[in-house]
A and B are shown apart, each in its own frame.
Chain A
Amino acid sequence: MATIKIPPVLRASVGGEREVSAPGANVGEVLRGLVSAHPATASQLFGPDGELNRYVNVYLNDEDVRVLDGLETAVGDGDVLVILPAMAGGCQNGTSASLS
């Protein structure tokens, strides 16, 4: 079982957990394992074509899976997957479209 680190924006979709475990021999299987356990994550991770959304980065340990073998990248027990969508918050005045 690999450990998946869940970013803040996806935590509500996994019952508030910061880390979950999922089985799978490669990155795609682990992420689909996550999706089957927590269906609300599906549209946030995958596009209609079944590929990872471009605005979500996934790292196997510290390496971007896109420079490895993408969803085919082999995952071993004890590996850590980090899901990382971009975060914009500079938290100035709380309005998302302003700079302050």
Chain B
Amino acid sequence: MSPSGAEFIRQVKAAITEVDPSVVHELIGDGVAIVDVRESEEFASGHLPGAKHVPRSYLESRIEGIVPDRSQRVILYCASGIRSALGARTLTDDLGYETVESMTGGITLWKDRGYQVEVPKTLTPEQRERYSRHILIPEIGESGQRALLDAKVLLLGAGGLGSPTALYLAAAGVGTLGIVDNDVVDLSNLQRQVIHSTQRVGIPKVDSAEESIHALNPEVEVVKYQTRLDASNIMEIIAGWDLIVDGVDNFPTRYLLNDASVRLQIPVVSASILGFDGQLSVFKPYEGPCYRCLFPVPPPAELAPSCGANGVLGVLPGTMGLLQATEVVKLIVGAGDPVIGRLLLYDALAATLTEVKVRRDPACPVCSRAPDEIRDEEMGVFPDYEAFCAAAG
């Protein structure tokens, strides 16, 4: 005789492992996948901090997208612990997940214990319309769009690379954009720096960029730093940002930025351009190599020409800046494979893209050490720093 529904649930609960909310509370942020299996509207009304969401009805088809590694510890929860118990049995028996638990009493008991609940921001009707083409892509969707709206991205420079990056990130709804730039708009910039305009020649680039960003998307908060990034201000400026987009045009600042971003563990989406050639990589501290792993020392000044001296195809910073913007969006929404540990070389004349591997250097003077071991006086320093700066003028 088939068991009653209640008896069946008792049997399932006896066969799986349950875990108390107090244990789950200790495990948050500890590399354990916490998955909410309730329906979308239940999830939207509040969930465990950092929980992923896969409704019970989609568990089998979607869990691999959320937890690809079957050996990872997974804790499921629902409202009271029934749906999560059923889900735990499915993941264990049918899909081969090795360590799956169901949280006793669900989010109801969690709340009764006084633990924190995260209420996701919901999109306004206007945001739903503005970002509808993002929401339609499964890799972004509503949660990805919310992540973009919550993201804080710092752009170093509102020049050739920063112009397209800033415009597209603003259009994509990145909530807060910081811009560090000490320059004013010059007529010779307008061949490539599309965020500025002929009418705004002579005004500070941070102000000009802010105007274009707000014309495109008024809800983006713009934080302006009309200054030059240097050792005295870098830690203060870059702290607290989720991601940095690097378009700096000189080696001393690149090394300084690298060291400070490793210390603060902020990923840097980096591009450089010259003539018809561009390079792109993402330096995510401690997950991939840093800039010093790739280039331990800078070249002598005669091998490091600037665009000003050598010129650049006006569209090239557009191409490279938009590759940077694409990486930024991917990192924020967690989609695809970022160019971590890889360097892309774009040759516009040949129309070729070459990829080389970049490995972490176990002897790297910066990222082979813990962040708090990197001292102020070491940052931005390389062996012939003084000579290099003197040569570069």
Instruction: Enumerate A1-23 residues with CB–CB distance to B below 8 Å.
Output: 5, 7-9, 18
Classify the secondary structure of A's interface with B: loop
- B350 near A: Cβ within 8 Å? yes
Instruction: Enumerate B259-292 residues with CB–CB distance to A below 8 Å.
Output: 271-277, 279
Q: How far is the CA of A53 from the CA of B186 in the complex (A)?
A: 38
**B246 cross-chain contacts in A, Cβ below 8 A:** 90
**A85 cross-chain contacts in B, Cβ below 8 A:** 299, 303-304
Q: Which residue of A lies closest to B230 (CB)?
A: A99
Q: Which of B127-135, B352-360, B373-381 contacts A (4 or more CB under 8 A)?
A: B352-360
Q: With A55-B298, A93-B159 known to touch, is A98 a contact of B250 (CB < 8 Å)?
A: yes
- A26 near B: Cβ within 8 Å? no
Q: How far is the CA of A84 from the CA of B274 in the complex (A)?
A: 13
Partner of B180, one of A89, A97, A99: A99
**A53 cross-chain contacts in B, Cβ below 8 A:** 299
Q: Which of B40-48, B71-79, B87-95, B306-314 contacts A (4 or more CB under 8 A)?
A: B306-314
The contact string, 1 if C-beta is below 8 Å from chain B, for chain A 79-100, is 0001011111111111111111
Task: Assess the A99–B228 pair: CB atoms within 8 A.
Answer: yes
**B186 cross-chain contacts in A, Cβ below 8 A:** 93
Classify the secondary structure of B's interface with A: mixed
The minimal Cβ–Cβ distance linking A90 to chain B, given in whole angstroms, is 4
Q: With A91-B192, A96-B304 known to touch, is A54 a contact of B157 (CB < 8 Å)?
A: no
How big is chain B's contact interface, by range?
35 or more
Task: Assess the A87–B274 pair: CB atoms within 8 A.
Answer: yes
Partner of B182, one of A9, A82, A98: A98
Q: How far is the CA of A18 from the CA of B351 in the complex (A)?
A: 12
**B300 cross-chain contacts in A, Cβ below 8 A:** 55
**A87 cross-chain contacts in B, Cβ below 8 A:** 272-274, 277, 279, 304
Task: Assess the A57–B295 pair: CB atoms within 8 A.
Answer: yes
- B205 near A: Cβ within 8 Å? yes
Q: With A82-B354, A96-B304 known to touch, is A89 a contact of B299 (CB < 8 Å)?
A: no
Instruction: Enumerate B343-393 residues with CB–CB distance to A below 8 Å.
Output: 343, 345, 347, 349-350, 354-359, 389, 392-393
**B251 cross-chain contacts in A, Cβ below 8 A:** 86, 88
Instruction: Enumerate B324-359 residues with CB–CB distance to A below 8 Å.
Output: 343, 345, 347, 349-350, 354-359
**B357 cross-chain contacts in A, Cβ below 8 A:** 59, 62-64
Q: Which residue of A lies closest to B316 (CB)?
A: A91
**A98 cross-chain contacts in B, Cβ below 8 A:** 182-183, 228, 249-250
- B210 near A: Cβ within 8 Å? no
The contact string, 1 if C-beta is below 8 Å from chain B, for chain A 36-65, is 000000001000000001111101001110
Task: Assess the B307–A91 pair: CB atoms within 8 A.
Answer: yes
The contact string, 1 if C-beta is below 8 Å from chain A, for chain B 137-166, is 000000000000000000011011110000
Q: With A87-B279, A90-B247, A92-B160 known to touch, is A97 a contact of B299 (CB < 8 Å)?
A: no
**B303 cross-chain contacts in A, Cβ below 8 A:** 9, 44, 55, 85
Task: Assess the B308–A91 pair: CB atoms within 8 A.
Answer: yes
**6 tightest A-B CB contacts, nearest first:** A94-B308, A92-B159, A91-B307, A96-B306, A90-B249, A100-B183
A residues lining the B interface (CB < 8 Å) = 5, 7-9, 18, 44, 53-57, 59, 62-64, 67, 82, 84-100
